[in-house]
Structure 1
Amino acid sequence: MFATGPGVAPAEETLPDVVVSASRAEQKRFDAPAAIDSVAVDSLAAPGPLINLSELLTGVPGVAARERQNYAQDLQLAVRGFGSRSTFGVRGVRLFVDGIPATMPDGQGQAATADLTNASRIEVLRGPFAQLYGNASGGVVQIFTPDPPKAPMARATSGLGSDGQWMAGVTVGGGNDRIGAVLDAWTFDTDGYRDHSAARRRQLNAKVVAEPVAGTKVTALFNSFSQPLAQDPLGLTRAQADANPRQAVALASQFNTRKTVDQNQGGVLVEQRLSEKDSLEFRIYGGTRQLTQYLGFSGIAPSSAGGIVDIDRTYGGGALSWHHNTTLAGLPLTWSAGADADAMRDARTGYVNQNGTQGALRRDETDKARSLGAFAQFDWTWHPAWRLVGGVRASQVRLRIDDHFVTAASPDDSGTATYNNVSPVLGVVWQGLDSLNVYANLGRGFETPTLTEVAYGPGGTGTNLGLQPSSSRQGELGVKWQANGQRLEAALFDAGSHNEIVPLSNDNGRSVYQNVGGVRRRGLELGWHGAFGPGQRFGTGLAYTWLDASFGDAFRNAQGQTVAAGNRLPGTARHSLSAEATYRPLAGLTLGVEMRVEGRVFADDLNTQAAPGYASFNLRAGYAFRVGKVRWFAFGRIDNLADRRYIGSVIVNESNGRYFEPAPGRRFFVGLRAEI
Structure 2
Amino acid sequence: MKTQISTIFILFFCLDIFAQAPPRHTLTVETYDSQSMTALRGVSVSYSAGTQGGVSNFRGAFPIKFSGDSVEITLSLVGYQKITRWVKPGTATRIYLKESDTQLGEVQVTGYENHRKLSEIPASIGLLKSNDLERYSNTNLVPALNTLPGVRMEERSPGSYRMSIRGSTLRSPFGVRNVKVYWNEIPLTDPSGNTYLNQIELGNVGRIEVLKGPAGSIYGAGTGGAILLDSPKAPEADQLQARTTVGSFGLFSMNLGIKTHSEKQTTFLNYSKTQADGYRTQSTMKREGINLQTYFYTDLKRTISANLLYSDLFYQTPGGLTLAQYKANPAQARPTVNTALGAVDQKAAIYLKTLQLGIAQNYDFNEHWTNRTAIYLSQTKAENPSIRNFERRLEPSWGGRSVTNYRFENGLFQGKISGGIEYQQGVSSIKTYGNKRGNVDTLQTDDEVTARQFLAFAQAEFDLPQNFFLTIGGSYNRLNYSFLRLGKNAILQEKTFDPVFSPRIALLKKINSSLSAYGSISNGFSPPSVAEVRPSEGSFNFALNPEKGTNYEVGIRGNLLRQRLVFDIAAYSFRLRETIVTRRTDDGADYFANAGNTSQKGLEIALKYLVSKSLIFWTNYTLQEYKFENYVTGGKDYSGNRLTGTSPNNVNIGLDFNSSGGFYANATFQFTDKIYLNDANTDAADSYQLLGGKIGYQKKLSKHFKINAFAGIDNALDVTYSLGNDLNATGGRYYNAAAGRNYYGGTTLNWMF
TM-score normalised by L of structure 1: 0.91
Report the alpha carbon displacement of residue 505 of structure 1 after superposing the two structures with TM.
5.5
Name whichever of 635-644 and 308-317 sits farther off.
635-644
**Within the alignment, does 1:604 sit opposite 2:686 as a pair?**
no
The match for 1:520 is 599
Contact 1:352–1:362, Cα closer than 8 Å, also in 2: yes
Quote the RMSD (CA, aligned, Å).
2.3
Query: In the alignment, what sits opposite 1:224?
Result: 310
Match of 1:93 among 166, 175, 179: 179
Provide closer, same or farther for how the CA distance between residues 494 and 178 of structure 1 changes in structure 2, counting only shifts above 3 A: same
Say whether the 8 Å CA contact 2:584–2:591 is kept in structure 1.
yes
Instruction: Spell out the pairing of 1:441-590 with structure 2 (5 A cutoff).
Output: 441-455=520-534, 463-483=540-560, 484-503=563-582, 506=585, 511-533=590-612, 536-556=613-633, 560=634, 562-584=636-658, 587-590=661-664
- Give the equivalent residue in structure 2 for 1:25: 114
1:15 to 1:653, Cα distance in 2 relative to 1, 3 A: farther
**Corresponding position of 2:258:** 172
Q: Distance in 1 between matches of 2:236 and 2:660?
A: 31
Structure with the bigger RCO (C-alpha within 8 Å, sep 6+) is 1
Query: How far does residue 453 in structure 1 lie from its aligned partner after superposition?
Result: 1.7
Cα distance between partner residues in 1 of 2:138 and 2:120: 29
Change in Cα spacing, 1:502 to 1:150, as seen in structure 2 (3 Å) is closer
Aligned match for 1:287, one of 355, 378, 385: 378
Question: Aligned AA for 1:668?
Answer: Y
How many angstroms apart in 2 are the aligned matches of 1:340 and 1:126?
A: 21
Match of 1:193 in 2: 279
Kindly indicate whether the alpha-carbon contact (under 8 Å) linking 2:272 and 2:290 is maintained by their aligned counterparts in 1: yes
CA distance in 1, matches of 2:352, 2:464: 51
2:196 alignment partner in structure 1: 110
User: Which is worse superposed, 387-396 or 30-39?
Assistant: 30-39
For 2:267, the equivalent position in structure 1 comes to: 181
Q: Distance in 2 between matches of 1:117 and 1:55?
A: 14
Q: Which residue of 2 aligns with 1:12?
A: 102
Cα distance per residue 1:392-436 (max 9 Å; x no partner):
0000011111110356xxx84743333421000001101111100
Match for residue 718 of structure 2?
643
Residues in 2 aligned to 1:15 and 1:242: alpha-carbon distance in whole angstroms: 47
**1:35 correspondence with 2:120:** no
Q: Contact 1:9 / 1:46 at 8 angstroms: preserved in 2?
A: no
Q: Alignment partner for residue 318 of structure 2, among 223, 230, 233?
A: 233
Whole-Å separation in 2 of the counterparts to 1:546 and 1:238: 27
Check conservation: 1:128, 1:441, Cα contact below 8 A: no
Other-structure match for 1:662: 737
Aligned to 1:434: 513
Partner of 1:249: 334
Alpha-carbon separation, structure 2, partners of 1:371 and 1:39: 29
Q: Cα deviations across residues 361-404 of structure 1 (Å, max 9, x unaligned)?
A: 11111111110010001111222321211200000011111110
C-alpha displacement of 1:593: 1.7
Report the alpha carbon displacement of residue 85 of structure 1 after superposing the two structures with TM. Answer: 3.8
1:350 to 423, 432, 452: 432
8 Å contact 1:375–1:392 — kept in the other structure? yes
Cα drift, residue 344 of structure 1: 1.1
**SS across alignment from 2:531:** coil
Alpha-carbon shift at residue 27 of structure 1 (Å): 0.4
Q: Which residue is 2:143 aligned to?
A: 55
Q: Quote the Cα distance in structure 1 between the aligned partners of 2:465 and 2:387.
A: 61
For residue 117 of structure 1, give the secondary structure of its aligned residue in structure 2: helix
- Structure 1 residue 18, shift from structure 2 partner: 1.6
Pair 1:332 & 2:414 matched: yes
1:202 aligns with 2:292: no
Alpha-carbon distance, 1:504 to partner: 5.3
Q: Quick check: 1:432–1:438 contact (8 Å CA) kept in 2?
A: yes
The aligned counterpart of 1:382 is 464
Measured after TM superposition, the shift of residue 516 of structure 1 is 2.4
What is the CA distance between 1:333 and its match in structure 2?
1.6
From the superposition, tell whether residues 309 and 328 of structure 1 become closer, same or farther in structure 2 (CA, over 3 Å).
Answer: farther
Cα distance between partner residues in 2 of 1:461 and 1:391: 39
Q: Deviations over 1:428-465 (max 9, x none)?
A: 101111100000000111000111222269xx996312
2:210–2:227: 8 Å Cα contact kept in structure 1?
yes
User: Quick check: 1:427–1:439 contact (8 Å CA) kept in 2?
Assistant: yes
Q: Greater Rg, structure 1 or structure 2?
A: 2
Q: Distance in 1 between the 2:749 and 2:635 partners? A: 58
Q: Identify the residue that residue 632 of structure 1 maps to in structure 2.
A: 707
User: Any unmatched runs of 5+ in structure 1?
Assistant: 298-306
- State percent identity of aligned pairs: 23
Tell me the distance in 2 between the aligned counterparts of 1:377 and 1:479.
Answer: 23
The one-letter amino acid of 2:527's match is T
State the Cα deviation string for residues 211-247 of structure 1 (Å, max 9, x = none).
12221000000000001x3111001111111111111
Distance 1:393 1:497 in 2: 19
Cα displacement (A) at 1:585? 5.7
What per-residue deviation string (whole Å, max 9, x for no partner) do you get for residues 480-536 of structure 1?
012422211100011001111124562656543222221111110000012113xx1
Q: Which stretches in structure 2 are left out of the alignment for 5+ residues?
A: 1-78, 80-97, 336-341
1:672 maps to what in 2?
A: 747
Report the residue type matching 2:580 in the other structure: I
Distance 1:203 1:406 in 2: 40
For the residue of structure 2 that corresponds to 1:34, the secondary structure is coil
Q: Secondary structure at the match of 2:221?
A: coil
Structure 2 match to 1:304? none
The match for 1:69 is 157
Distance in 1 (CA, whole Å) between partners of 2:492 and 2:281 is 38
Q: SS where residue 283 of structure 2 aligns?
A: coil
| Contact 1:40-1:122 within 8 A present in 2 as well | yes
- State how 1:265-344 maps to structure 2 within 5 Å: 265-297=356-388, 307-327=389-409, 330-344=412-426
C-alpha distance 503-77 of structure 1, shift in aligned 2 (>3 A): closer
**CA–CA distance in structure 2, aligned partners of residues 142 and 325 of structure 1:** 23
User: What is the alpha-carbon distance in structure 2 between the residues aligned to residue 153 and residue 127 of structure 1?
Assistant: 39
Q: How many angstroms apart in 1 are the aligned matches of 2:362 and 2:414?
A: 22
Structure 1 residues 503 and 246: CA distance shift in structure 2, 3 A: closer
Deviation, 1:666, is 0.6
Letter in 2 for 1:531: L
The answer to whether the aligner puts 1:373 opposite 2:425 as a matched pair is: no
Q: Which moved more, 1:414-423 or 1:189-198?
A: 414-423
Q: Per-residue CA shift, 1:144-201, capped at 9, x if unaligned? A: 1133548531100001000000001111132431233221001001000101100100
Question: 1:150 touches 1:180 (CA, 8 Å); kept in 2?
Answer: no
What TM-score do you get using the length of structure 2 for normalisation? Answer: 0.82
Instruction: Give 1:112 deviation, angstroms.
Output: 1.1
Find the aligned partners of 1:503 and 1:672 in 2 and give their Cα distance.
43
2:353 to 258, 262, 266: 262
